[in-house]
Structure 1
Amino acid sequence: MFLETFPRLTFWDVLDILIVAFLFYKVFTYLAETRAIQILVGLFVLLVLSVFAKFLHLYALSFIFNNLLTIGIFALIIIFQPEIRRILARIGEKQFGVFSSVEEAEKVIEEIVRACATMSEDRIGALIVIEREINVDNYVESGTVVNGEVSKELLVTIFWPGTPLHDGAVTIKRNRIHKAGAFLPLSLNQSLPQTLGTRHRAAIGITEETDAVAVVVSEETGAVSVSYSGKLIKNLDPQKLKKVLKGLLVKKSPEKRGIFQFLRGNKGEEAA
């Protein structure tokens, strides 16, 4: 019979297929939110054309398409390099938080919330990046080393209009302000609203490249937003801001680590 030509599937074969399918699904779902998916679709079209050319014995076209696909495989490594790095970084996260104790986290978060409340009221633009497991220095250009304790007064002073460092971002490592006046990579996500300014795009950009958390205060509206994993949560009052930061920065139990967080998809509120 026809079915007898196929090997008998066991439970482990089915499980193997389901796991591979699930991993492919998660990777493609992740890539679908980036510009890389357009390139992937183009390569898939080339593959289909190559198969048709070979089937119709169009040898010249088949030769061209085959060579384009060969080059495309190597090009994928370069083109998808940012996306591959983000996926590997997310899988390799040691823990979702950064502070070793609730007390340490609450002290830093309280100062950030107080500073943001003041800057929001006074319409002072600000961008604060809190480093987690991935070193953000590899993605930050310039910046002046401060190495100061995180406090409302210091943060407001740094971002006060007219000061030399107010235009850039502040980076925080553990419970210290590491740099001020730093410039961050802007997000290349074309689906972001055109109304988003440079600060918000920089906040999204650094959280696309690393596992950092970024807090943004809009100079135009005073609205406070939080970005993580390329997502943006907007219009947060002080209480909501504190709650979001505690959820992102306080270390959680082991089952919430890297690979599980990636498999769950890190769903957050999209930029709107």
Structure 2
Amino acid sequence: MSNIENFFESYLFGLSLPDMKVTDLIEIILIAFVIYEIMLWVKNTRAWMLFKGIIFLMVFILFASIFEMNIILWIASKTINVGIIAVIIIFQPELRKALEQLGRKNILTSLFPIDAQRNGDERFSDKTVNEITRAVFEMGSVRTGALIVIERDISLMDYENTGIAVDSIISSQLLINIFEHNTPLHDGAVIVRGNRVAAATCYLPLSDNMGLSKDLGTRHRAGIGISEVSDSMTIIVSEETGKVSIAMGGELTRNVDAEFLRSKLYALQNKSIEGGRFRKTKGRVKNEKKVNS
């Protein structure tokens, strides 16, 4: 009994909480949030397997330290600097993607109003919405494959330079003629900027997401790939089935109908008020299927 009393007197009663300020509490919350976001990012990317490999090496070095394996510790100490650089090189694609996603967060755009004037302008007209929708579903009805990328805030100039400049007003006839089989411009993607077709036959990055369905072809993977590295919206028409899909933010929504596509285009139009009233669009999806990246 006396031993228990001595334990409480020596350890528990001697404990005292440190003086906490409001800034200390905020700092703890911020650090916990950052650690959580980093862990979530690592888990949702290919970096998870690499991260587990690094943990294994750290456990191996700890094991060598406990049993005083001096040669292994000497090798580890000499290679740690090179190892840090190697980790940065290995994680380069994931780090770049994470920084791009961080730059697209609303919290940054609210603190630093970049492109504020551009965001306040209407991106494209109602006529453009109707012309794109008409062209997409006319091509789908005859199973003509198409890949249309609609630029938003992030410039697609690098991908536009891989194609052929068009710089023409959007019309359904123009889009249908571009993607017609055996025509010079049908292969590749069309990039739309505002009310104009900026370029055709553009090359897009393919998504390397291993979780995508195996029945998705190159056209769908390219549509998802460009949505992973930009804030664009990509419209994909399947050549095999004629079905229309939409890729945004690394997610693919499959088998959409005309009303749903039109509502998505209206949402991107950046025109919240029309005729004194807020625009309201209702879209429905037939057999909608979303594929996450």
TM-score > 0.5 by shorter chain: yes
Would the alpha carbon gap of residues 271 and 162 (structure 1) be closer, same or farther in structure 2, given more than 3 Å must change?
farther
- Are the structure 2 counterparts of residues 28 and 110 from structure 1 closer, same or farther at C-alpha, using a change threshold of 3 Å? farther
In structure 2, what is the equivalent of residue 145 of structure 1?
A: 165
The DSSP-based 3-state class of the residue aligned with 1:184 is coil
Residue of structure 1 in register with 2:61 after alignment = 50
In the TM superposition, residue 198 of structure 1 has moved relative to its aligned partner by 0.2
Alignment of 1:55-66 (within 5 A): 55-66=66-77
- Name the SS for the 1:221 alignment partner: coil
CA distance in 1, matches of 2:268, 2:76: 47
Q: What's the RMSD between the two structures over aligned residues? A: 2.9
One-letter amino acid matched to 1:24: I
Q: Residues 172-191 of structure 1: matches in 2 within 5 Å?
A: 172-191=192-211
Does the residue aligned with 1:215 lie in a helix, a strand or coil?
strand
Cα distance in 2 between the residues matched to 1:63 and 1:246: 63
CA distance in 2, matches of 1:66, 1:108: 62
Q: Deviations over 1:211-266 (max 9, x none)?
A: 221110111111111111211111110111112233345378xxxxxxxxxxxxxx
What residue identity is the alignment partner of 1:21?
Answer: A
In the alignment, the residues of structure 1 paired with residue 249 and residue 42 of structure 2 have an alpha-carbon distance, to the nearest angstrom, of 13
Alpha-carbon contact 1:53-1:61 (below 8 Å) kept: yes
Q: 1:137 to 1:41 in 2, by over 3 A?
A: farther
* CA shift in 2, pair 1:96/1:223, >3 Å: farther
| Counterpart in the other structure of 1:89 | 100
Q: Structure 1 residue 155: deviation in Å?
A: 0.8
Q: Deviations over 1:116-142 (max 9, x none)?
A: 111111111001111222222324673
- The equivalent residue for 2:142 is 122
Q: Structure 1 residues 100, 146: CA separation in 2 closer, same or farther (over 3 Å shift)?
A: farther
Corresponding residue for residue 207 of structure 1: 227
Conserved? CA contact 1:99–1:249, under 8 Å: no
| Greater RCO (Cα-Cα under 8 Å, separation 6 or more) | 1
5+ residue gaps, structure 2:
1-10, 273-288
- The one-letter amino acid of 1:107's match is K
1:52–1:196 CA distance, 2 compared to 1 (3 A): same
Count of matched residue positions in the alignment of Structure 1 and Structure 2: 257
Is 1:147–1:176's contact at 8 Å kept on the other side of the alignment? yes
TM-score, normalization: structure 1? 0.82
Distance 1:123 1:204 in 2: 20
Task: Quote the sequence identity (%).
Answer: 38
Structure 1 residues 133 and 192: alpha-carbon distance in aligned structure 2, compared to 1, 3 A threshold: same
- Whole-Å separation in 1 of the counterparts to 2:268 and 2:241: 25
For the 8 Å contact 1:47–1:65, the answer to whether it is kept is no
Counterpart position of 2:291: 270
Structure 1 gaps, min length 5: 253-267
- 1:1-272 to 2 correspondence within 5 Å? 1=11, 4=15, 7-93=18-104, 94=109, 100-102=120-122, 104-139=124-159, 142-250=162-270, 269-271=290-292
Distance in 1 (CA, whole Å) between partners of 2:127 and 2:94 is 34
> Secondary structure at 2:183's aligned position in 1?
coil
Task: From the superposition, tell whether residues 16 and 219 of structure 1 become closer, same or farther in structure 2 (CA, over 3 Å).
Answer: same
Name segments (4+ residues, structure 1) moved above 6 Å: 95-99
Helix, strand or coil at the partner of 2:291: coil
Shift of 1:186: 0.8
SS in 1 for 2:124: helix
TM-score, structure 2 length as denominator? Answer: 0.77
SS at match of 1:161: coil
